């Protein structure tokens, strides 16, 4: 079946790097996404990666994709208090372009 | 101005009442979606629409209905609200790589 899993919580010291991990089960995914949700707001697309790529970098964000292990990660460099949020991993399924499967979200908290 | 707007932002209603949540988008996308979010469960798809004449059920459509009034408008109805429909509801559109653009959400409480 299709499933996307993430750990529920991550605590990081301000200024350190955060690494949020995600695993998925469907090998036919076309795109994988990272979204950020701040309190009281909708999900905001941070970045996405096409399934034939291994890495994508965008300023402080680095996405790594290991297709063999079906593992996706989001690294946030120099984590700031404004990065506190819930981060969702998601994948689109090749066989059903309408279907986006979301993980349950990882809550990132920043400690001073 | 926001690309995807939802009204109302908050709503409290009683069991058995009919309620409609509305969504409008200015992104010009054909694809629109309704999700609900419950704590610890991520997002679950209720309905989606690829264009005005194409509406499809998602994984949790029971108890809900939708209407696609125009390319820019997609509304969600609860015909007879029940307490376990208390949740945060999000409308979204999707672009060419299926990336989703979300509205700010409607917090619905059914008492």
Share of chain B above pLDDT 70, in %: 99
CB atoms within 10 A of CB A88: 26
Task: Answer whether residue B49 shows pLDDT above 70.
Answer: yes
The pair phi, psi for residue B83, each rounded to 5°, is -55, -30
Angle CA(A78)–CA(B42)–CA(B85) in degrees, nearest 5?
A: 140
What is the band of A55 on the pLDDT scale with cuts at 50, 70, 90?
very high
For residue A61, the number of C-alpha atoms closer than 13 Å in the C-beta half-sphere is 18
Determine the pLDDT at residue A95: 62
Q: Do B45 and A99 touch (CB under 8 A)?
A: yes
Angle CA(B60)–CA(B64)–CA(B65) in degrees, nearest 5?
A: 120
Task: Answer whether residue A99 shows pLDDT above 80.
Answer: no
What is the band of B53 on the pLDDT scale with cuts at 50, 70, 90?
very high
Q: Do B98 and A97 touch (CB under 8 A)?
A: yes
Please report the residues numbered 14 through 53 in chain A whose beta carbons come closer than 8 angstroms to any beta carbon of chain B. 30-31, 33, 35, 40-45, 48, 50
The pair phi, psi for residue A42, each rounded to 5°, is -80, 180
Mean pLDDT of B27-50: 90
Task: Answer whether residue A98 shows pLDDT above 70.
Answer: no
Q: Do B100 and A43 touch (CB under 8 A)?
A: yes
**Cβ of residue B45 closer than 8 Å to a chain A Cβ:** yes
């Amino acid at each position: 079946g299709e499933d996307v899993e993430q750990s529920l919580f991550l605590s990081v010291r301000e200024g350190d790097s955060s690494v949020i991990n995600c695993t998925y089960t469907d090998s036919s995914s076309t795109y994988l996404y990272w979204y950020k949700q701040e309190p009281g707001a909708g999900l905001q697309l941070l970045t996405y990666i096409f399934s034939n790529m291994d890495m994508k970098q965008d300023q402080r964000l680095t996405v790594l994709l290991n297709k063999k292990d079906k593992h996706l990660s989001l690294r946030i460099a120099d984590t700031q208090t404004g990065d506190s949020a819930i981060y969702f991993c998601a994948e689109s399924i090749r066989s059903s372009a309408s279907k986006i499967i979301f993980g349950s979200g990882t809550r990132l908290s920043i400690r001073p | 101005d926001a690309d995807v707007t939802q009204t109302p932002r908050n709503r409290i209603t009683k069991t058995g009442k009919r309620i409609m949540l509305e969504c409008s988008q200015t992104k010009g996308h054909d694809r629109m979606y309704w999700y609900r979010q419950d704590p610890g469960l991520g997002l679950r798809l209720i309905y989606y629409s690829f264009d005005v004449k194409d509406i499809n059920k998602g994984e949790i459509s029971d108890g809900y209905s939708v209407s696609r009034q125009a390319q820019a408008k997609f509304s969600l109805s609860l015909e007879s609200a029940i307490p376990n429909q208390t949740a945060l509801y999000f409308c979204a559109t999707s672009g060419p790589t299926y990336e989703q653009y979300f509205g700010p959400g409607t917090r619905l409480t059914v008492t």
